[in-house]
Structure 1
Amino acid sequence: MPSIFTRIINREIPCYKIAEDADNFAFLDINPNSKGHTLCIPKKEVNKITDMDPEAYESLMRFSRKIAIALDASMDCLRVGMTVIGLEVPHVHVHLIPLQTMADATFQKKEQLSPEEFEAIAAKIRSNL
């Protein structure tokens, strides 16, 4: 059964898309730690980052860096944190989280955003790519 992220890539589930290339896809996390929290994923469904072949791993990291630079230019933050963590979706995903404090990286504090706020944030990030 395809992961929820594969279903997002296949446009079966809507998302607030930031960008995609031939191998990777970026979209806003719908349960964000902070405004602008973005997920970068490989289009090929792989459960663990250590199972990725070196080329796919490097491609995902380059893609994530590009998105992180746009995110940093778009959001009022001290830095953009990057983490690969999570057991809830068996599909590699890089979290890019705009940070003001370390609490933003704990996955304990969540932002509540309207669809309009998500759309505005996604548009702002896309404009800085």
Structure 2
Amino acid sequence: MATIFSRIIAGEIPCYKVAEDDKFFAFLDINPLVKGHTLVVPKQEVDYIFDLSDEDLAAMHVFAKKIAKGIQKAFPCQKVGEAVIGLEVPHAHIHLIPIQKESDMLFSNPKLKLSEEEFIAIAKAINSSL
């Protein structure tokens, strides 16, 4: 059975897409820690990020770097933090989170509740900054 991320990539489940190429897909986390919190996933369905081939893992990080630079332009921040947890969805993914301080990356922090209009504006802002 396809993961929720595979279904998002296939267009079966709507998302706020930021960017994609032939191997990777970036979209907004629907339970963001901060505005601009984005997920980067491989189109190949792999549960554990370190099960990706060396080539694909490297390429995923290069793709994530491009997205992170766009996030930083759209949402000025100290840095864009990167986290790989991978326990909630069995599909490799990288969290890219604009941060001002280390505690902005605590996944135990309350999640933002954003409107559809806000999500659309955030995705457009990042995409246009790429």
Q: TM-score range by the shorter chain?
A: over 0.9
* 1:41-56 equivalence runs, <5 A: 41-56=41-56
User: How do 1:46-125 residues align onto structure 2 when only pairs under 5 Å count?
Assistant: 46-109=46-109, 110-125=111-126
* 1-structure distance, mates of 2:112, 2:100: 13
Q: For 1:37-87, what per-residue CA distance to the aligned partner results, in whole angstroms no more than 9, with x for missing partners?
A: 000000000011111011111110100000000001110321100111130
Count of residue pairs brought into register by the alignment: 129
Query: Which residue identity lines up with residue 32 of structure 2 in the other structure?
Result: P
Q: TM-score, normalised by structure 2?
A: 0.96
Q: Which amino acid aligns with 1:116?
A: E
Q: Please give the residue correspondences for 1:24-39 in structure 2 after superposition, counting only pairs within 5 Å.
A: 24-39=24-39
Partner of 1:127: 128
Give per-residue Cα distances to partners, 1:91-123, cap 9 Å, x unaligned: 000000011222210112211110000000110
Q: CA deviation at 1:29?
A: 0.2
Q: Could you tell me which amino acid in structure 2 is paired with residue 7 of structure 1?
A: R
The runs of 5 or more residues in structure 2 that have no matched partner are: none
Contact 1:81 1:96 in 2 (8 A): yes
Q: Supply the AA of the counterpart residue of 2:40.
A: C
* Alpha-carbon distance in 1 for matches of 2:16, 2:95: 15
**TM-score, normalised relative to structure 1:** 0.97
**2:7 pairs with 1:4:** no
**Runs ≥4 in structure 1, deviation > 3 angstroms?**
none
User: What fraction of aligned residue pairs are identical, expressed as a percent?
Assistant: 54
Which moved further from structure 2: 68-77 or 15-24? 68-77
Give 1:94's aligned amino acid: I
- 1:12-54: CA deviations, max 9, x gaps? 0000000000000000000001100000000000011111011
Maintained 8 Å contact 1:33/1:108: no
